Copies of this chain bind each other. A is one copy, B any other.
Amino acid sequence: MALQPDRRELGYEQTLMYGRYRQELSQFAKTEAARQKEEQKRQKQLDDEFRQYRGTCCYTVKSNLIWFRDFVFSKIGEDWIFLALLGIIMALLSFAMDYAIAKFQTAQVQLFTVLKGSPFVQYFAWTGFPIVFIIFSTGFVHLVSPNAIGSGIPEMKTILRGVVLKEYLSFRTLISKVIGVATSLGSGLPIGKEGPFVHIASIVSTILSKLIVTFKGIFENESRNSEMLAAACAVGVSCNFAAPIGGVLFSIEVTSTYFAVRNYWRGFFGAVCGAFVFRLLAVWNKDEETITALFKTTFRVDFPFDPQELIAFAFIGIVCGFGGALFVFVHRRIVDFNRTHKRVSAFLMKNRFLYPFLVSLVISSITFPLGLGQFMAGELTQKQQIDELFSNTTLGNDPSATIDEENKYKPWHRPNVFVTLGVFIVMQFWMTALAVTLPVPAGVFIPVFTLGAAFGRLVGECMAAWFPQGIHTSDAVINKVIPGGYAVVGAAALSGSVTHTISTSVIVFELTGQITHILPVMMAVLIANAIAQLLQPSFYDSIIQIKKLPYLPDISHAGSKTYEIFVEDIMVRYVKFISWLSTYADLKELLDTSPKLQSFPLVDAPESMILLGSVQRSELECMLEKKVGLARRLVVVADRKRSQGQSQPGPSDRFSVVSFNAKSDENNSQQISIRDASDKDATGISLSNLELSLNILLGTSPRTSPRSSFSTQGMLKRFGSRDSILSSSTDSLDGSKKKPRVYKLPIGEFEDMSTEEHEEWESEELKVQLDFSEVHIDPAPFQLVERTSLHKCHSMFSLLGLNHTYVTTLGRLVGVVSLKEIRRAIERSADSNNHSSFRRSHRNEPQNIIQAEGSSS
């Protein structure tokens, strides 16, 4: 049916190639349309059969169900369903992983207990267990997707800033991360899972939204995706801790710079769904009697603390502030050490498993319960540690403790609670910093949280020992000091200071299920944050710096200088631009001299410099390629040959008709026949058709979007190397360079110009003025004024996710500011106290008349 040529389109039929092209496309379209029609028909038939088979009632129910689904989707909104799904999936994932990790961790302890009596075997079992897990995790992650290494929060921060990190949210990475986290946490090393969970949730959200797109074309919107990604981060934290509110706030603090209140509910809804299912699973699994907090505490509600104890809480805040900064510093030094010592890093790179092996050996040796581990409660898992640090009784010499409690808290009593806690804190500190540098998926939150809890507990135990009857004993009622409350405060303060977040305070309330210590916690967290922010960047920002991710640092809180630095002080004045009057030669030079710039401003003329828009590099390259690229050159050569052939009539021997695909039937085979037509019009069509098909073959369609267009050269290279469909027949290796090259393409064999011809032709072509008619120009690039303050500039870049902006005055382009300049300016303003270098020496404001007059008299 498709073989009958449409008579009305006979005009096209004469140039076979183009005709073929159209014919084929239309053929495809027809087949496609027919197929769709067929399918619809079959579907209808099926429906009819269905109806006949199942009766009318059933069909009505079915169609009603479909209608209901559509109605629910349109009324309730896809967002709700999407978020609920995301929450439920993450909760299931979190529960399954928790289950696996707990099994792994207890397996180590059980193995240790079983082998009682032979300390050496015990030692090998105790250390071998984590080594195997970590080595497996390292290898697996390395093989499947190295993107899964590390926390994931720094990368999510960068992605939410608008930077595209390829492969970071792929399914492969998900697999890698899930298995990697389960095994590396199962090893029992002090690493956490809240960062990885943020990453996992983001991947699940991305995959889910792709799935929904395929079945309902709604989620195609870019900004919607990023909104969902932000919500996914919240869901990740929330499922981890069963802390919906704290999770949302933590994810906002950690990943965002500016935050749309409009999207607030998204995070909450997803987080509540996640936390709800997560805790419900625990109930169904008979772990818990009902839905309660993860690390439930039972502190006295009526008198949680005396106002005078606030001094001790403030002390915890101060120490945790310094401690958090020290932790970030130590972590960075370990990374730097591995990096700067070239020999070390080269050695470690070669023996990829050596570093994980050594680190896990050292850490597990230290925690070995018969060695140093007995002085630091080494046989407890992370969850047990936190549970016992938050416990209500005094770990010290509590005469009222039952034997059960005595046994439970025995690990902390060797030799006594103060020494044990002290050793635990010191060891845990550097062990955590070391473990987090391992090339496995590893978070930092929970180990730091435990560390903070231990420190708080230590202070609490000291207070309890100091005031055995409580502080406020004037009344008959004795209100003892609650050391568990101190542990809660310490945990919130240290995790807050390491991550530079305030929402850890909310997380502890949700984790413990008690909010009685709200004021001490808030106070300590704020103090710790203030100190840590003065001294060091947050742990995540530190990783961003280490990884050199493209992220804009935040303006420091006290940085009033940023109001006094202006765009004109930091902008690049020597802007590379393309003008409406430029020639192709200018364009070529521009592209050659600035290989790194990805977009160029377009001005009307070099004299007036009125900014018209911005053009992508790829667009310009495509433009140049179309003018002097291979495809066009071949066409020109063909044109010349043809005109020569016109003067000497006869079959063109250069354009030999080559059957490209011998196996395919005649309809699909590619044929070239240049008609010897004398009328100009037909020739024009023929040429343009040739050019078009060349373009299509070479992958440089003039209409392709900027992202999908490649340079022809690169395309040719790939073509050649892969399939060698396109082969240049410059086999003559002798000096005869003037001999033109011949290209073999799927559609035929083409002769190139000789080098001389080529140069001459190209220089001629390059003199032509640019033709912007088919170029995609961004007609309103972001613009600033010279007197915009750095502070405002920073806000703009953060808010709108800009990479660069043009500086204009009265429409004239005067400069350009990119992320780099702003980053450098912020760093300089933060580093140096004197900002004289930024400030202009002369200001435009009229001088104060009074002063001027007064001094002149």
Residue numbers of A with Cβ under 8 A of B are: 6, 25-26, 28-30, 32-33, 77, 79-80, 218, 221, 223-224, 244-245, 249, 252-253, 256-262, 264-265, 268-269, 272, 275-276, 279-280, 283, 289-293, 296, 298, 301-307, 472, 479, 502, 505-506, 509-510, 513-516, 518-519, 522-523, 526, 529-530, 554-555, 557-558, 560, 563, 604, 610-613, 703, 777-780, 783-785, 791-792, 795-796, 799-800, 808-811, 846, 849-855, 857
Specify how many copies of this chain sit in the oligomer: 2
Is B257 in contact with A260, judged by CB distance below 8 angstroms?
Answer: yes
In contact, B291 and A305 (Cβ under 8 angstroms): yes
- Complex Cα–Cα for A430 and B583 (A): 76
Chain B residues within 8 Å of A79, by CB: 557-558
User: In this complex, what residue of B is CB-closest to A534?
Assistant: B75
**Chain B residue contacts of A557, Cβ below 8 A:** 77, 79, 262, 265
Q: A208 → chain B, closest Cβ, in Å?
A: 17
A29 CA to B857 CA, complexed, in Å: 9
Task: Return chain B residues, CB-CB under 8 Å to A244.
Answer: 518-519, 522
Give the distance in Å from the alpha carbon of A777 to the alpha carbon of B810 in the complex: 8
Q: Enumerate chain B residues within 8 angstroms of A32, measured Cβ to Cβ.
A: 850, 854
Contact present for A301 and B303 (CB under 8 Å): no
Residue of B nearest to A257 (CB): B261
Q: Could you tell me the distance in whole angstroms from the C-beta of A852 to the nearest C-beta in chain B?
A: 8
A796 — which chain B residues lie within 8 A by C-beta? Answer: 800
With A252-B261, A290-B305 known, 10 other A-B pairs at CB within 8 A are A25-B853, A29-B852, A77-B557, A223-B795, A245-B506, A258-B258, A265-B526, A291-B307, A514-B514, A799-B800
Question: Which residue, of A77, A253, A513, A779, has the highest number of chain B Cβ atoms within 10 A?
Answer: A779
- Smallest CB-CB separation from A248: which chain B residue? B502
Partner of A502, one of B265, B611, B784: B265
| A335 to B811 alpha-carbon distance, docked (Å) | 49
Inter-chain contacts of A253 with B (CB < 8 A): 261, 264
Cβ contact within 8 Å between A25 and B799 = no
A26 touches B857 (CB 8 A): yes
Neighbouring B residues of A809 by C-beta, 8 Å: 779-780
- Enumerate chain B residues within 8 angstroms of A245, measured Cβ to Cβ: 505-506, 518, 522
Q: How far is the CB of A595 from chain B (nearest CB, A)?
A: 27
Closest B residue to A794 by CB, please name it.
B262
Instruction: Give A749 to B245 CA distance when docked, in angstroms.
Output: 74
Chain B residue numbers with a CB within 8 Å of A291 are 304-305, 307, 519
Instruction: Flag if A854 contacts B29 (CB, 8 Å).
Output: yes
Tell me whether B810 and A779 are in contact (CB under 8 A): yes
- Given A258-B261, A268-B522, A777-B810, check contact A29 B853 (CB 8 Å): yes
Taking a contact as CB atoms closer than 8 A, the residue among B30, B554, B785, B849 that contacts A25 in the complex is: B849
Q: Which residue of B lies closest to A603 (CB)?
A: B811
Q: List 28 A-B contacts (CB under 8 A).
A: A25-B850, A26-B854, A29-B857, A30-B853, A30-B854, A33-B855, A33-B857, A223-B791, A224-B560, A244-B518, A245-B522, A253-B261, A256-B261, A257-B261, A258-B261, A262-B557, A265-B502, A268-B526, A290-B306, A290-B479, A612-B811, A777-B810, A778-B785, A779-B785, A779-B810, A780-B784, A780-B809, A799-B799
Tell me the bound Cα distance from A296 to B792 in angstroms: 44
Complex Cα distance, B609 from A475, in Å, reads: 83
In the complex where A516-B292, A780-B785 touch, is A221 in contact with B265 (Cβ < 8 A)? no
- Closest-CB distance, A231 to chain B (whole angstroms): 12
Which residues of B are found within 8 Å of A795, using beta-carbon distances? 223, 260
**Cβ–Cβ < 8 Å partners of A293 in chain B:** 515-516, 518
Scoring A264, A298, A795 by chain B CB atoms within 10 A of each residue's CB, the highest score goes to A264
> In whole angstroms, what is the CA distance A526 to B245 when docked?
12
Query: Whole-angstrom distance from the CB of A701 to the nearest CB of chain B?
Result: 12
Q: Which of A28, A262, A611, A799 is the most central at the interface, judged by chain B CB atoms within 10 Å of its CB?
A: A262
Could you tell me if B519 and A509 are in contact, using CB atoms closer than 8 angstroms?
no
CB < 8 Å neighbour of A811 from B306, B516, B604: B604
How far does the alpha carbon of A669 sit from the alpha carbon of B808 in the complex, in Å? 49
Which residues of B are found within 8 Å of A857, using beta-carbon distances?
A: 6, 26, 29-30, 33
Q: How far is the CB of A408 from chain B (nearest CB, A)?
A: 18
B810 x A29 contact (CB < 8 A): no
Asked whether, in the complex, the Cβ of A264 is within 8 Å of the Cβ of B502, the reply is yes
Question: Min CB distance, A313 to chain B, in Å?
Answer: 11
Alpha-carbon gap, A256 to B252, bound state (A): 15
Contact B519 A516 (CB under 8 A): no
With the chains together, A367 CA to B114 CA distance in Å? 73
Given that A515-B513, A516-B292, A811-B613 are known contacts, is A26 also in contact with B262, CB under 8 Å in the complex? Answer: no
State the Cβ distance, A585 to closest chain B Cβ, in Å.
Answer: 23
Q: Known contacts A306-B290, A307-B283: does B515 contact A853 (CB below 8 Å)?
A: no
Cβ of B509 and Cβ of A515 under 8 Å apart?
Answer: yes
Tell me if A558 and B262 are in contact (CB < 8 A). Answer: no
Q: A264-B253, A612-B811 are contacts. A33–B558 as well, Cβ < 8 Å?
A: no
Give, as a whole number of angstroms, the nearest-CB distance from A46 to chain B: 23
The answer to whether B783 and A780 touch across the interface, beta carbons within 8 angstroms, is yes
Is the beta-carbon distance between A519 and B560 smaller than 8 angstroms? no
Residue of B nearest to A502 (CB): B268
A703 touches B846 (CB 8 A): yes
- What is the chain B residue whose CB lies nearest that of A855? B33
A851 to chain B, nearest CB (A): 8
Quick check: A262 and B610 within 8 Å, CB to CB? Answer: no
Quote the shortest CB–CB distance from A316 to chain B (angstroms). Answer: 15
Q: Which residues of B contact A506 (CB under 8 A)?
A: 245, 506
A513 to B300, CA, bound (A): 12
